[in-house]
């Protein structure tokens, strides 16, 4: 299982939540007061981790939502191709290829260590 269930009231900014089928980082969260016939609701604004799209959702604070398990890992650069980089995980020595984000410029060199995240069976470079 790559996710767990939590109540909306347990979520905080800079944590993760699933909106639709996309893992997202929460950027803001506001809650309303309970009404005469209803319960308090929370509005969550978030950015998709892998696609960068802004998403939002509104749920009662007692509603259970999915929270993805996101791992931050370290890897070593093996080779740099045109728009991809081949990496080797420093824990289990697995090799894989990832696309190079636009903000990395020319900071990737063979032998250098970088950080990446893994979540919902997807990977993304985060910082050199």
User: Which CATH superfamily does the domain covering 71-127 fall into?
Assistant: Nucleic acid-binding proteins (2.40.50.140)
User: Mean pLDDT of all residues in the chain?
Assistant: 91
Confidence label for 77 from pLDDT (cuts 50, 70 and 90): very high
User: What band does 64 get if pLDDT is binned at 50, 70 and 90?
Assistant: very high
User: With the CA atoms of 91, 92, 95 and 100 taken in that order, what torsion angle do they form, in degrees rounded to the nearest 10?
Assistant: -30
Give me the DSSP letters along 58-127: EEETT-EEEEE--EEEEEEEEEE-SSEEEEEETTT--EEEEEPPGGGTT---TT-EEEEEEETTEEEEEE
Pick the CATH number of 3-68 from 1.10.10.60, 2.40.50.100, 2.40.160.100, 2.30.30.30: 2.30.30.30
pLDDT digits (tens, 9 = 90+) for 39-49: 999 999 999 99
Please indicate whether residue 127 or residue 123 has the higher confidence score (pLDDT). 123
Query: CATH 2.40.50.140 in the chain, residues?
Result: 71-127
Question: Which pLDDT does position 113 carry in this prediction?
Answer: 93
Q: How many CB atoms lie within 10 A of CB 120?
A: 16
Q: Is the pLDDT reported for residue 34 higher than 70?
A: yes
Residue 87, judged by CB atoms within 10 A of its CB (0-12, 13-18, 19+), counts as buried
Return all residues near 25 (Cβ < 8 A) that are at least 6 apart: 14, 15, 16, 46, 47, 49
pTM of the model: 0.83
Q: CA–CA distance from 54 to each of 47, 48, 84 (Å)? A: 4, 6, 25
Higher pLDDT, 127 or 126: 126
Instruction: For CATH 2.30.30.30, list the domain ranges present in the chain.
Output: 3-68
Percent of the chain surpassing pLDDT 90: 75
Average pLDDT rounded to a whole number, residues 108-126: 91
């Amino acid at each position: 299982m790559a996710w767990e269930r939590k109540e909306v009231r347990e979520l905080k900014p800079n944590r993760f939540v699933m909106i639709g089928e996309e893992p997202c980082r929460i950027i803001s969260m506001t809650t309303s007061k309970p009404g005469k016939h209803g319960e308090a609701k929370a509005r969550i604004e978030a950015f998709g981790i892998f696609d960068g799209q802004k998403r939002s959702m509104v749920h009662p604070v007692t509603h259970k939502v999915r929270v993805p398990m996101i791992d931050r890992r370290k890897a070593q650069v093996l080779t740099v191709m045109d728009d991809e980089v081949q990496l080797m995980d420093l824990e289990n020595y697995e090799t894989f290829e990832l696309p190079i984000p636009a903000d990395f410029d020319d900071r990737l060199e063979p032998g250098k260590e970088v950080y990446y995240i893994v979540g919902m069976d997807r990977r993304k470079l985060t910082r050199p």
